[in-house]
Amino acid sequence: MLLDVVNLHTTLATGDTDVQAVRGIDFTIDQGETFCLVGESGSGKSVTALSLMGLLPTGLARHPHGSVTLMDRAMPGGGSHRTSLLTLDNQAMSSIRGRRMAMIFQEPMSSLNPVYTVGEQIVEAIQLSHPHISNAEANVLALQALTDVRIDDPENRINEYPHRFSGGQRQRVMIAMALACKPDLLIADEPTTALDVTVQSEILELISQLQIATNMAVLFITHDLGVVAQIADRVAVMRDGLIVEQGSKDEVLFRPQHQYTVELLSALPENLQRLPSTVRSTPLLLDVSGLSVHFPLRRGLLKRTYGYLKAVDNLDLQIRRGEILALVGESGSGKSTLGRAIVRLLKPTSGAVRFNGTDIGTLSASQLRTQRTDLQIVFQDPLSSLNPRLNIATTLIEPMKVHGIGESDIHRESLALQLLSDVQMPADSLWRFPHEFSGGQRQRIGIARALAVNPALVVCDEITSALDVSVQSEILQLLLDLRDRFSLTLLFITHNISVVEYISDTTAVMRHGKLVEVGPTATVCHAPRHEYTQRLLEAVPRMNNFKVGGS
């Protein structure tokens, strides 16, 4: 046993009231094993990790009960040296951090300091926990660490600044920093959530290989049950600061006992009840032909254009009336740009977007304004997609008023109420402000706003990416329901393959601004022809692939 957590409580002081973020959890982590802590947002899993590392702001966080004990692995046999982490002062704790326990975080873009080279940052981490190492020795160790995390050409890249590294590479550098001092326990807080699936699978592979090489234990925090199925030895499911169920991976994921775990698993898109695919030969609604969106790249004093970023490059796409077309691609593939060009938030560089035969790209400003009612968009980020200073009524009624929907304000108000009930929101939401709603509720309101002008086509730009699985499944079911009732056509942009399989009739795979494969979802997802699609699908961690045995 390496780490023993007994009855851990964490209380956070928030102004007037105390929040009990963790309310008595017990678990142990053995040497060399991977322990996954799964839960939805607000379940207290990150607070648990920060409590273990002693990284919560002192004075705000208290641990009224419980103990965390770290065993010394150097001593064989039972009589090992124990360190009680919660009682340590900050100085003693910092000798544990890094050397015995290291942590990597979710956001690779902001967790490296942009003004130091990656080498300097790794050397600093090494020297903080081993103060007597000379610079030259530390450099050798840093180089070794970068080699271990498989950064290509480490001799040169060690002297480069973080902005020259991609998200996946930065996460590798973070892992190199964390592992430079050979910790016994690595705490990984959603390390792959911000990464593309192909990069995610590489990082997961890397962590498990390093783990075997050093016999290090990993506490892996995630919300993605697919990832859990891929890497976990043991799993604990957290909810509201409590562990509701824990056990081996097979027990928890495939023979769940607790009601909540069952609900969580059944909310996964791959476990949702799938509707019979409705392949219809309806007329074309949207015809994108030869569409390009190029952004000029400028440099120098006079901002001379020296090249173009081809976000969408000579792309053809057809969507039929009533169809749900899923647009899949990794970050930077241009899928959001395509979505915005279709609703004409961006002016295409060339090519045509024909909606019902009208070319959206060439409309004048006033023609466009009336045409906009047909094409609506719902955005990814529930935090920024509603105007924080307007109440929901104003947000919903203003577009109706502009486009002359409804006869009077009273009528429009009743229409808005009807919309809210269509997206399953309570009627009193009408006079509330966005900050009073949760992420899933705001996404529903975003959908209601799009529906307010009776659109024919709605572009859904990663609308479930920021949501928990249970909320995601509700939103997906809502969309299918609305599609039927409002006879909508949906362009569903996502990076999540299981969502695609659940919701879409047709799937288009996008890469580097071009479509690599388009076809019925069943064909694309189960018999992909293009090499890139195959690679993308292989990288997706799927629960059911890991059903037999463990890793």
Q: Does 171 bind another protein (CB under 8 A)?
A: no
CB-wise, 61 or 267, nearer to another protein? 61
Q: Does 201 bind another protein (CB under 8 A)?
A: no
Q: Among 402, 426, 481, 520, indicate the residue that binds another protein (CB under 8 A).
A: 402
Q: Among 136, 301, 302, 410, indicate the residue that binds another protein (CB under 8 A).
A: 410
To the nearest whole angstrom, how small is the minimum distance from the Cβ of residue 67 to another protein?
Answer: 21
CA–CA separation, 252 and 265 (whole Å): 10
CB-wise, 255 or 298, nearer to another protein? 298
Residue 485 Cα distances to 177, 423, 478, angstroms: 53, 12, 10
Structure tokens at 228: 């859990």
Q: Among 386, 451, 482, 516, indicate the residue that binds another protein (CB under 8 A).
A: 386
Measured between alpha carbons, how far apart are the two ends of the chain, in Å? Answer: 20
To the nearest whole angstrom, how small is the minimum distance from the Cβ of residue 172 to another protein?
Answer: 21
Q: Does 428 bind another protein (CB under 8 A)?
A: yes
Name the nearest CA neighbour of 222 among 39, 465, 42: 39
Structure tokens at 192: 């792959």
Residue 496 Cα distances to 3, 185, 193, 499, 521, angstroms: 34, 30, 12, 5, 13
Beta bridge partners of 375: 457
Q: Does 388 bind another protein (CB under 8 A)?
A: yes
Q: Among 121, 200, 333, 373, indicate the residue that binds another protein (CB under 8 A).
A: 373
Q: Does 456 bind another protein (CB under 8 A)?
A: no
Q: Phi and psi for 434 in degrees, rounded to 5?
A: -55, -35
Nearest-10 crossing angle of helices 118-129, 135-148: 110
Q: Does 47 bind another protein (CB under 8 A)?
A: yes
Q: Does 43 bind another protein (CB under 8 A)?
A: yes
Q: Are 524 and 517 in contact (CB under 8 A)?
A: yes
Q: Does 75 bind another protein (CB under 8 A)?
A: no
| Biggest CA-to-CA distance, the chain | 82
Q: Does 361 bind another protein (CB under 8 A)?
A: no
To the nearest whole angstrom, how small is the minimum distance from the Cβ of residue 201 to another protein?
Answer: 24
Applying CB under 8 A, which part among 174-182, 278-286, 362-370, 495-503 lies near another protein? Answer: 362-370
Half-sphere exposure of 476 (CA within 13 A, CB side): 31
- Residues 469/473/474/475 CA torsion (nearest 10 deg): 100
Q: Phi and psi for 313 in degrees, rounded to 5?
A: -130, 105
Q: Among 7, 41, 159, 418, indicate the residue that binds another protein (CB under 8 A).
A: 41
> What SS3 class is residue 88?
coil
CB-wise, 146 or 327, nearer to another protein? 327
To the nearest whole angstrom, how small is the minimum distance from the Cβ of residue 205 to another protein?
Answer: 25
Could you write out the DSSP letters of every residue in 366-392? HHHHHHGGGEEEE-S-TTTSS-TTS-H
Please give the distance of CA 362 from its chain centroid, rounded to a whole number.
36
CA–CA separation, 323 and 195 (whole Å): 29
CB-wise, 253 or 452, nearer to another protein? 452
Q: Does 377 bind another protein (CB under 8 A)?
A: yes
Q: What's the chain's length in residues?
A: 551
Residue type, 476: L
CB-wise, 143 or 327, nearer to another protein? 327
Applying CB under 8 A, which part among 283-291, 311-319, 442-450, 488-496 lies near another protein? Answer: 442-450
CA–CA separation, 329 and 336 (whole Å): 10
CB-wise, 104 or 151, nearer to another protein? 104
Name the nearest CA neighbour of 496 among 288, 223, 206, 235: 223
To the nearest whole angstrom, how small is the minimum distance from the Cβ of residue 363 to another protein?
Answer: 11
Give the count of residues interacting with another protein (CB under 8 A).
68
To the nearest whole angstrom, how small is the minimum distance from the Cβ of residue 345 to another protein?
Answer: 6
Q: Are 213 and 144 in contact (CB under 8 A)?
A: no
To the nearest whole angstrom, how small is the minimum distance from the Cβ of residue 46 to another protein?
Answer: 3
CB-wise, 46 or 333, nearer to another protein? 46
| DSSP 8-state symbol, 408 | S
Mask: binding to another protein, 284-303, rule CB under 8 A, as x and -? --------------------
- Residue 323, judged by CB atoms within 10 A of its CB (0-12, 13-18, 19+), counts as buried
Cβ neighbours of residue 548 closer than 8 Å, sequence gap 6 or more: none
Q: Does 15 bind another protein (CB under 8 A)?
A: yes
Q: Among 8, 35, 46, 475, indicate the residue that binds another protein (CB under 8 A).
A: 46
CB-wise, 133 or 390, nearer to another protein? 390
Mask: binding to another protein, 311-350, rule CB under 8 A, as x and -? -----------------------------x--x-x-----
Q: Does 446 bind another protein (CB under 8 A)?
A: yes
Name the nearest CA neighbour of 209 among 181, 237, 186: 186
> What SS3 class is residue 349?
coil
Q: Does 143 bind another protein (CB under 8 A)?
A: no
Structure tokens at 180: 């430079």
Q: Does 409 bind another protein (CB under 8 A)?
A: yes
Binding site for another protein (CB under 8 A): 12-15, 19, 21, 39, 41-48, 50, 56-57, 60-61, 106, 189, 221, 340, 343, 345, 368-373, 375-377, 379-381, 384-391, 393-394, 397-399, 402-403, 408-410, 413-414, 428, 431-433, 435, 446, 449-450, 452-453
